[in-house]
Structure 1
Amino acid sequence: MSLKKFETIRRYIHFADNSCPDSDRYFKVRPFVEKVRRNLATEEEMRYSIDEMTIPYKGKKAGNRRQYNPMKPNKWGFKNFVRAGMSGIVYDFLLYGGEDTFRYVQFSQAEETLTLGAKVVVALCKTIQTRACVVYFDNYFSTLDLAIHLRDECGIFSLGTIRQNRLKGCDKLLMSDKSLKKKGRGSYCQVVDNTNKIAIVKWYDNKVVTLISTYADAYPVGKIKRYSKEMKARVDVDCPELIKHYNNHMGGVDLADMLVALYRTTYKSRRWYTAIFAQMLDICVNNAWLVYRRDYSNRAVKHMPLKSFRCQLARELQNKSRSRISVNNNCKTDDSVRYDSIGHFPSFGESYGRCKLY
């Protein structure tokens, strides 16, 4: 297929009826997005992370759908909230669209009072079928009300960093940042609410970080290796157990984003929604490869790398369906040999064939 023919065919890719515009800001791609969400991996895990994923887009046709985040590698693009497992498999996502972000999500009266970040976590957790799992998120989403709601109403445990201004007075029970820094690297303090069954831990490494959890606390305290500028060597630093859990299980979305960035589908077009279409294709292909790699991990066969998997998938989609093998029915054996009933035993051959007798 020539490039010109491919571009001509690509012009007619549409996902919605333009003659019936909807007030939804993503109505041009909404049917495809919802179809992808319903068909994501169904074999769930026990630990998930929720974080932001930016869909790169530098054009100006998207209006204020396009967001700017200077902390991301791709600073301009569509903001996408993602729930992924430790393996990097994406299980659900939510496109940010201002008031239309939760257009198709039903919240209870108590959930309506939550902050935007907390409502994102609740919306992404509604599609979890297996309860008693653990969800990890950063301080953009964390609140005390969210942690309590997830455990009591949804049966889901949580762990995440939290901002000081969201502790609702609990920060007065914790040591100040200056006091922790005076005690030295690895110092920590903890406050436990036995009524709500919440543990809040403040820990000092290079800077002070505060975490909130409904299933873990600071104990047992272990050791981690950190580089010391004074000693010019790696030294042991005290680390609460809750910190280890967060560091080990929070990277699912980052792993999924990295896999998409490795072999991103470049889709240059003036239509803004084609960037979302390309991102969804990459997520589906990466999910398929991760499931394939997980299945092959139980065998003694080496799995294909991601690049080879994508190339093989492209070749399979290009190939036409094979027709039935045509066999010449003309028999070259004489009738005297065919019907003498002597030595007619089955034998294994290298090529496909049919019985010469009938």
Structure 2
Amino acid sequence: MWCLNTPSGYLVNFELYQGNNPRRLAEYEKSFGKASAPMVQIIKLLTHLKENGYQGTGTIRENRIPRDCPLPSKKIMEKKARGTFASIIDRTHGILFVRWVDNGVVTVPSTLNGVEPTSGVRRYSQAEKKTIIVPRPNAIGTYNAFMGGVDLMDENFGRYRVGMRGKKWWWCIFTWLLDVCIQNAWQIHKKCGGTMTQLEFRREIVTIYLQRYGSPPKSPGKPKHKTIKEDDVLAKTAKLLGEPSAPSVKSAYV
């Protein structure tokens, strides 16, 4: 599932990956690749965001950056000290590219945030054997603050995912939709001041549905056989066959 989430994990929109999607837009796949094209259809990316009144900040792979972009390469940045960063602005489209050295090299394009103001983050230095303060560009800080909505949603799913398994190919999609509905409802519950945990919230849903629509078994264990009269069965069979009714016999278990 391609998902669009808020920072809290609330699912705003999604697109089911279908391989050869009959609703795909070829121009989006050509411009952004198959991985980004579904997200473009959900909500436009960067220049499309800006043209439609939105701003965006996110990460980008090395091979997605225009080749003529004069940003130092990832290999060059890997040799720099932690906290080193470089930036460049595409003034044609109004996109800032920032490359920052942390545990690895991170590249972030943004139409919203700049490099300034920089902030300091705490990192442990193996060379100095102590915690140091590392400078971080504003665009990186903003991305870190608002990323992870999909991860939070997946974490909520993993805790109390529907455990029933089915052999039908569509069953996992159906249970995923159930989990999405419950997770989103729980997020709204918390936003409205509710204090129930997700487990308590799920139990409350089950309890209400059982009280309204369910009837618990009368006794535990294997259900008992129903007692019927054999002469009634024989009479109905004879009627269907057009034969005279059979004589009455004692009741029996069937």
- Fold agreement, TM-score > 0.5: yes
Residues 325-344 of structure 1: pairs in structure 2 closer than 5 A: none
Provide the residue aligned with 1:164 in structure 2: 62
Q: Is the 8 A contact 1:267 1:274 kept in 2?
A: no
- SS of 2:124's equivalent in the other structure is strand
- SS of 1:97's equivalent in the other structure is coil
The reply to whether residue 205 of structure 1 matches residue 105 of structure 2 is: no
The reply to whether residue 308 of structure 1 matches residue 209 of structure 2 is: no
Q: Is the 8 A contact 1:122 1:150 kept in 2?
A: no
TM-score normalised by structure 1 residue count: 0.56
Give, as a single letter, the amino acid of the residue that structure 2 aligns with 1:232: K
The reply to whether residue 148 of structure 1 matches residue 50 of structure 2 is: no
Instruction: Return the offset for 1:319.
Output: 1.1
Between the aligned partners of 2:201 and 2:75, the Cα distance in structure 1 is 52
Q: Is the 8 A contact 2:80 2:101 kept in 1?
A: no
Between the aligned partners of 2:207 and 2:95, the Cα distance in structure 1 is 52
Provide the residue aligned with 2:71 in structure 1: 174
The reply to whether residue 118 of structure 1 matches residue 36 of structure 2 is: yes
The reply to whether residue 231 of structure 1 matches residue 128 of structure 2 is: yes
Give, as a single letter, the amino acid of the residue that structure 1 aligns with 2:125: S
Instruction: Return the offset for 1:116.
Output: 1.5
In structure 2, the gaps of 5 or more residues are: 214-254
The reply to whether residue 276 of structure 1 matches residue 194 of structure 2 is: no
- SS of 1:201's equivalent in the other structure is strand
Instruction: Return the offset for 1:243.
Output: 0.6
Q: Is the 8 A contact 2:13 2:42 kept in 1?
A: yes
Per-residue CA deviation, residues 83-104 of structure 1 (Å, 9 max, x unaligned), is: 111121111111111112xx34
- SS of 1:255's equivalent in the other structure is helix
Greater gyration radius: 2
Q: Percent sequence identity over matched residues?
A: 33
Give, as a single letter, the amino acid of the residue that structure 1 aligns with 2:152: L
Shift in CA distance, 157/234, structure 1 to aligned 2, threshold 3 Å: same
Shift in CA distance, 220/97, structure 1 to aligned 2, threshold 3 Å: same
Between the aligned partners of 1:188 and 1:226, the Cα distance in structure 2 is 16
- SS of 2:134's equivalent in the other structure is strand
Q: Is the 8 A contact 1:174 1:189 kept in 2?
A: yes
Residues 39-54 of structure 1: pairs in structure 2 closer than 5 A: none
RMSD of the TM alignment (CA)?
A: 2.0
Instruction: Return the offset for 1:221.
Output: 1.3
Q: How many pairs does the alignment contain?
A: 212
Provide the residue aligned with 1:295 in structure 2: 192
Instruction: Return the offset for 1:181.
Output: 4.2
Instruction: Return the offset for 1:166.
Output: 2.0
TM-score normalised by structure 2 residue count: 0.77
- SS of 2:35's equivalent in the other structure is helix
- SS of 1:116's equivalent in the other structure is coil
Per-residue CA deviation, residues 206-250 of structure 1 (Å, 9 max, x unaligned), is: 221211111112111111001111222211001001111111111
Between the aligned partners of 1:125 and 1:320, the Cα distance in structure 2 is 40
Residues 23-62 of structure 1: pairs in structure 2 closer than 5 A: none
Give, as a single letter, the amino acid of the residue that structure 1 aligns with 2:9: G
Between the aligned partners of 1:156 and 1:254, the Cα distance in structure 2 is 23
